[in-house]
Amino acid sequence: MKVYAEKNAETENVAGSNPLDETESETTDITGELPEGTAGETEKDPAEEPSEETTTDPAEETTEEEDRSGDAVEDAEEDDALTEDETAFVEEETALMEENPENDVVLFAEHIHNDIIYEPWTETDSLPEAEGNYYLTQNVTITERWLVKEGTIKLCLNGKTITMGNHTFGKSVVIISANGGELDLYDCVGSGKMTGADDSCVSNFGIFRMYGGEISGNSNDEGLFPDLSGGGVSNNQGTFYMYGGRITNNHNKYGGGGVYNKSDATFYMYGGEITNNVGGGVRNVGTFYLYDGKIESNTTSRYGGGGVKNEKFFYMYGGRITNNTSLIDAGGGVSNASLSGAFYMYGGEISGNASLLGGGGVMIYSPIYVYGGKISGNRVVNSGSGSGGVWFGSMYSDTGVSAYGQLTVGGSAVISGNKDISGTESNVGVSSANAIVIDGEKALSGNAVIGITVYDGYRPTEENPRRVTAANAADYSSYFYSDNPDYVVQKGADNAIFIAVGSSHVHQWADTWDCNATHHWHDCTAIGCPITNNAAKDGYAAHTENSGTVTKEPTETEVGIRTYKCSICGYVVRTETISATGTGIDKPDNGGGGGNPDDNNKTGDNPTENNNDGGNNSVSDNHTIANNDSESVDVSEDVIDADTVNSGDPVLDTDTETPVMIPEQSKDSEPKTARCSGT
């Protein structure tokens, strides 16, 4: 067994001149146990001991009392001795060594997060209740709830496990009090977790910040209030900030297997993962802001919303809701399941989700607003059960009137590539007039594209086209296409959009590529193709830049040119100069070129560096975790893509930690089409 005494170069060692630190290295390997009776003693240098042969002048001798009165002698003796606290710590760690002969034990270790030194917690059957900063040295099993009463407790799991074991029915691992209780959870090793609750693992009434660690293996299927709490986290009347870590493999068959965000609570998700929970990833009855991270591979068998079941206000600016499943209901990715709620999507991705009934991507009971991001690649798995992308459901109000949800679109919204059970495109399913609203202030632009499916009972005839939107201030028909090739999109009076019967059209996609400065696609060469929006054409995708080819070799007096093309379509994405081979030759300004005038600021030898300092909100799980406290996270520019957020959209203000408004951002129109230059 090995014992280590660590010494941080920036902080004085708690043991002072401890004999364990007598070597020059920062860490001393001490093999074996401390000899009996040597605690607090230090070795003396033989050169400092008087030899028996040394003759001392009587005039230089001093009495014992005089010797003790000498400050130098007294200080030297005190410096060489351990204090009572240090001696007790050595004895405690020595006992720990005897209990754990297979493990290495760290003496006087410094554990740091955000330049704060954490104290070791060595208990195995309890957790700290006093405000402070702690890290676990061993696994902990508790039989009573851990209550964070008041003040802030910062806890690093340090790769260890907290288990609720041998407990009576209905116990959480931790309850965070509303009376000023705050818990910050870290894990610098990466394998630490909290587990074993048969109620919500974390029941938060105060403030919970999660930077690392794992909340897993908790089940609330038969808890005290299973329909009103989650399996992993119940955010009751508090605020939950998730910056990292994992909430995974928890159960609540009534909904909220991962997180249940209650009516008076707010949940901000900036990173981390909510995955593989039964009962859905997130059930939101309060306010939920998703900026980054992923909600993935969750399932629900009772209610819709495999990824998120939203019953109040859900704002999505980024992140991914992907590969979730609703086994017996609608809304594989998101179920907007309350007449009093709303879902606002400004960015991010809802993809790869599935549901038995309609809305593999999103189920609408209450209004949703899609101003950016992508709803794509979702599906339904039951024949005749609605669209694979977005499905409008009906819900009866207290008066018995059936209410249908409504979809408002704008900006760069993409709802495309979703499918029904047969593999046929089935994006936004429409069964009534004016089901879709185009926002006049956030009008469709850029690469926006929306596929439309009309259902039996609302299918168009030659005499009766079916209205999809009301009147609009401009013609937006090019942003829509019919999922059924027998129908076409038409512009009606006042720019209203209709689905109408058209001639049966068979696409004949060209072998060559067409493109603009950002994307490429295949045009249809058949006469009368109804698709006018490039984003809905075959092969539409962003350019993929290759590694570049030297198209002009440099000479002693002239610069060369390296050209970067799209590896798919051959479009010249950009060029850069190569320095002349001679000496003393000034490099000329780069003219850019290729087909992308925005690349004029790039040169071969002095490229503009991409500053990503603020663009990553992920949390480091090393022993030193920098800038992860909530007060240091700036989401005003880095987490939110300002180009896709519009006036009136709430974002997080780092000072107040409440939603604020940001000014209107300009939107770039799609570049003009340019024939690709070749392969």
C-alpha torsion 514→517→518→523, nearest 10: -10
**H/E segment holding residue 67:** helix 64-69
Three-state SS string over 2-57 comes to: EEEEECCCCCCCCCCCCHHHCCCCCEEEEECCCCCCCCCCCCCCHHHCCCCCCCCC
Distance CA 136, CA 58 (A): 59
Whether 661 contacts 224, CB under 8 Å: no
Whether 566 contacts 573, CB under 8 Å: yes
Distance CA 405, CA 391 (A): 9
Q: Amino acid letter at 647?
A: S
Categorise residue 23: left if φ over 0, alpha if ψ from -120 to 50, beta otherwise: beta
Per-residue pLDDT, 305: 86
Per-residue pLDDT, 222: 59
Q: How many residues does the chain have?
A: 679
Residues 203, 209, 210: CA angle, nearest 5 degrees? 90
678: exposed, middle or buried (Cβ count in 10 Å: 0-12, 13-18, 19+):
exposed
Nearest to 404 by CA among 386, 422, 378, 382: 386
Whether 525 contacts 508, CB under 8 Å: yes
Per-residue pLDDT, 169: 62
CA 61 to chain centre: 74
The sign of the torsion formed by the CA atoms of 77, 79, 85, 88 equals negative
- For residue 398, which phi and psi values (nearest 5 degrees)? -65, -25
Angstrom distances, CA of residue 246 to CA of 52, 173, 233, 242, 310: 69, 16, 11, 9, 21
In DSSP notation, 296-309 reads ES-EESSSS-SSEE
Fill in the DSSP letter of residue 416. -
Instruction: Give the residue carrying structure tokens 């981390």.
Output: 272
Per-residue pLDDT, 423: 87
Give every residue of the chain whose pLDDT is below 50, as ranges: 1-79, 104-108, 396, 584-674, 678-679
Distance CA 535, CA 523 (A): 11
pLDDT single digits (tens) 229-279: 778 999 998 999 999 999 999 998 777 899 999 999 999 999 999 999 999
| Token reading at 193 | 């977790």
In the sheet with 519-522, reading across from the earlier edge strand, the strands are: 538-542, 519-522, 514-515, 674-675
Q: How many CB atoms lie within 10 A of CB 607?
A: 11
Three-state SS string over 334-364 comes to: EEECCCCCEEEECCCEEECCEECCCCCCEEE
Distance CA 10, CA 468 (A): 67
Q: Compute the radius of gyration of the chain from its Cα atoms.
A: 33
Distance CA 480, CA 490 (A): 9
Instruction: Give the residue carrying structure tokens 């002969």.
Output: 101
Per-residue pLDDT, 341: 84
Distance CA 329, CA 111 (A): 48
Bridge partners of 538, per DSSP, are 522
Instruction: Give the residue carrying structure tokens 């003219």.
Output: 591
Q: pTM higher than 0.75, yes or no? A: no
Per-residue pLDDT, 93: 61
- For residue 181, which phi and psi values (nearest 5 degrees)? -75, 135
